[in-house]
Structure 1
Amino acid sequence: MSKEEKNENLIVLKLEHLPAIMKLQEEILASLPSSDLYAPFSSHDFSRALGEQDQGFSLGVFVAERLIAFACVLFPGEGEDNLGYDLAFPAEEIRRVAHLEEAFVHPLYRGQKWQQQLFGERRARIQAMGRYRHLCTTISPFNYYSIKNALAQGLVIKKLKRKYNNQWRFILHQDLQMGHVLPVPSSLTKVVVDQRKKLEETRLALLLEQGSIATEVSRDDDHYTFTLLGKHR
Structure 2
Amino acid sequence: MKKSDFTPHIRLCTPEDLDDIMDLQERICASMPRPDLFVATCREENASYLAEPNVIFGTYDHDRLIAYASLAFPEKASDNLGWDLGWDEDTVRRCAKLDTIVVDSAYRGYGLQRTLISHCLSYAKAPDPDCFVLTTVSPANTYSLRNVQSEGFQILKRMTKYGGRDRYVLGYHTSGHFPEIYQHP
TM-score of the aligned structures, taking structure 2 as reference length: 0.90
Report the counterpart of residue 38 of structure 2 in structure 1. Answer: 38
In the TM superposition, residue 82 of structure 1 has moved relative to its aligned partner by: 0.8
Q: Cα RMSD over matched residues?
A: 1.8
Counterpart for residue 108 of structure 1: 106
Q: How does 1:51-62 map to 2 (within 5 A)?
A: 51=51, 54-62=52-60
Which letter does structure 1 place at the counterpart of 2:49?
Answer: A
Which of 158, 164, 170 is residue 172 of structure 1 equivalent to?
Answer: 170
Question: How has the CA–CA distance of structure 1 residues 108 and 71 changed in structure 2, closer, same or farther, with 3 Å as cutoff?
Answer: same
- CA distance in structure 1 between the partners assigned to 2:10 and 2:167 by the alignment: 29
Q: Deviations over 1:114-168 (max 9, x none)?
A: 1111111111111112276100001111111111111111001111111101111
**d(CA) in 1 for partners of 2:132, 2:62:** 35
Residue 116 of structure 2 aligns to a residue in which SS? helix
1:85 is matched with which residue?
83
Letter in 2 for 1:127: K
Cα deviation, residue 182, structure 1: 7.3
Distance 1:163 1:138 in 2: 9
Partner Cα distance (2:45, 2:10) in 1 = 21
Inter-partner Cα distance in structure 2 for 1:107 and 1:170: 23
In structure 2, C-alpha distance between the alignment counterparts of 1:132 and 1:30, rounded to whole Å: 38
Match of 1:155 among 153, 156, 173: 153
Matches within 5 A, 1:65-214: 65-130=63-128, 133-177=131-175, 179-180=176-177, 211-212=184-185
Structure having the higher Rg: 1
Q: Greater shift after overlay, 13-22 or 125-134? A: 125-134
CA contact (8 A) 1:96 1:134 kept: yes
2:156–2:168 Cα contact (<8 Å) kept: yes
Letter in 1 for 2:42: S
Q: 1:99 to 1:31 in 2, by over 3 A?
A: same
Paired amino acid for 1:17: D
Contact persistence 2:82–2:95 (CA under 8 A): yes
Mapped contact 2:172–2:178 kept (Cα < 8 A): no
Tell me the residue number matched to 1:22.
22
Deviation at 1:88, TM superposition (A): 1.7
Q: How many residues matched?
A: 179
One-letter amino acid of the counterpart of residue 111, structure 2: K
> One-letter code of the match for 2:77?
G
Does the aligned pair in 2 maintain the 1:36–1:167 contact within 8 Å? yes
The one-letter code sitting in structure 2 at the alignment partner of 1:174 is Y
Deviation for aligned residue 1:39: 1.1
Match of 1:223 in 2: none
Aligned to 1:194: none
Q: Deviations over 1:77-98 (max 9, x none)?
A: 1011111011122221111100
- Is the 1:140–1:169 contact (alpha carbons within 8 Å) kept by the matching residues of 2? yes
Shift of 1:64: 2.8
